[in-house]
A and B are shown apart, each in its own frame.
Chain A
């Protein structure tokens, strides 16, 4: 086939999106909203139509909702918008050039494309210790994982969570409410160390202990013990054994970059993209948990690049990537935000606190309703809000509009934060 014939063939093929997830669905929907009429194929290996993941570690485990209710879009929606949804197909190889290419699934099925988007997500970081294959030891990422965990917890009395991050703490909190004996084992000296400050970590430590969860910091897991192929406990470095009927491992995720590597794309803790979600080849786009993007709120002293694991990021990057594929100008610029519901503790984080040089505490942590505000050079850059949705909304709004909240007044809980929002200091720019 000549080059011209190849590009003509590819032009009618439209977009292939690899990864049936929040970012992938958003990308497909955004392509249609932007007027794209070419074919769109959204392919993923899970058996389900794309669904919301955050409730899996929360309401889903409590039995409050079913897998069906987590579905993003109806099958009719995909059909009406001419988005071909392909499930149970794992793409194992891709070849491409500037005008398109072909992806091949494990089954042998081929997907030709003119435009390619990688929304391959991430997989749980595995712990390679002895006993991790025992029945009762599991991870939580997919609806299938969540269903297994829900069943296991139903007949369990003792849950051990390895990893004191958001997923682990959400499950731990729910299991305590359900009356289980719960132990959280965290290797670091504090909880959720990657995401929040020491103040917020300390609050979560105390709050979970108040709810009856045993939390062991600086815990060194050595192996999982079992009988008749079922887990019975977790052995720690000091020789103690924590009894367990169920072990959930939640020690972070690893971005899925195998396909990007095959394509020779730049990889650095995720698929390297620019502010318009474009990969290093200048053709492919990537979005969501798998992508490493320029820090959207960069300021002096901030982190140059990062990977954001959040719904908001998946949505925003999906939109930007769709525009980029269509040759429209787009730049990721919104303020990142995150949430974590742990039993009755609602955490909402606005902004990125990396590089802060001042912290203002707003409210009393022991009241379980307070906020931690982060500043850099007098400018508000982020906040952790615990059971303070109004503070969160005010901070998110201020950050989105390049405004500030004076640090010397922010701690006064008698004044609504919204009333303190003002124009940013000239030095901070924006």
Chain B
């Protein structure tokens, strides 16, 4: 089972066991990890599951819609910004940081 570590804006780390195929967003929400809101439940409608992917964690490139939505996150996007509903877990352990706010 891949482990997903979420690092809050204040530096607090929460590690959760995830399942391959689930998204980084789903894994956070089901386990009650704060910092990811995900109002739309993963349908690319809300831009409230913004994360910063930490060095060493790799995901496939984003599609245009995700890229567009990232322009509207509550905290400005950075180079390593992604919407966590689009990040599917594989076998590898993952680390992401969550922004100060999502809405």
Contacts and interface: CB of A to CB of B under 8 A. Distances in A.
Interface string A367-401: 00000000000000000000001101110110010
B41 A33 contact: no
Interface in B7-42: 22, 26, 29-32, 34, 37, 39-41
Contacts of A418: 71-72
Nearest to B71: A390
Interface residues of A, number: 35
Contacts of B44: 346, 389
Interface in A298-347: 311-312, 315, 334, 337, 339, 341, 346
Contacts of B30: 71-74, 77
Where chain B touches its partner, the secondary structure class is loop
Contacts, number: 68
Contacts of B32: 29, 73, 77, 80-81
B44 to A, nearest CB: 7
A348 interface: yes
A55 B103 contact: no
A155 interface: no
A74 B40 CA distance: 18
A339 B69 contact: no
B68 interface: yes
A100 to B, nearest CB: 27
B4 interface: no
A389 B65 contact: yes
B47 interface: yes
Contacts of A72: 29-30
A339 B34 contact: no
Contacts of A348: 45
B48 to A, nearest CB: 9
Nearest to A416: B71
A69 B21 CA distance: 11
B75 to A, nearest CB: 12
Nearest to A76: B31
Nearest to B69: A389
B39 A312 contact: yes
Interface residues of B, number: 22
Where chain A touches its partner, the secondary structure class is helix
Nearest to B72: A393
Nearest to B74: A397
A52 interface: yes
A80 B32 CA distance: 10
Interface in B79-103: 103
A254 B1 CA distance: 44
Contacts of A337: 46
Nearest to B65: A389
A58 interface: yes
A341 to B, nearest CB: 6
Nearest to B26: A69
B41 A77 contact: no
Interface of A: 29, 33, 52, 54-55, 58-59, 69-74, 76-77, 80-81, 311-312, 315, 334, 337, 339, 341, 346, 348, 389-390, 392-394, 396-397, 400, 418
Which 8 pairs, one residue from A and one from B, show the smallest C-beta to C-beta distance?
A: A393-B72, A339-B45, A52-B41, A77-B32, A74-B30, A390-B68, A389-B69, A389-B68
Given A55-B41, A311-B39, A311-B40, 12 more contacts: A58-B43, A72-B29, A73-B30, A74-B31, A77-B30, A77-B32, A334-B103, A337-B46, A339-B43, A389-B44, A389-B65, A389-B69
16 contacts: A54-B40, A77-B31, A77-B32, A81-B32, A311-B39, A312-B39, A315-B37, A315-B39, A339-B46, A341-B43, A389-B69, A389-B72, A393-B69, A396-B72, A400-B103, A418-B72
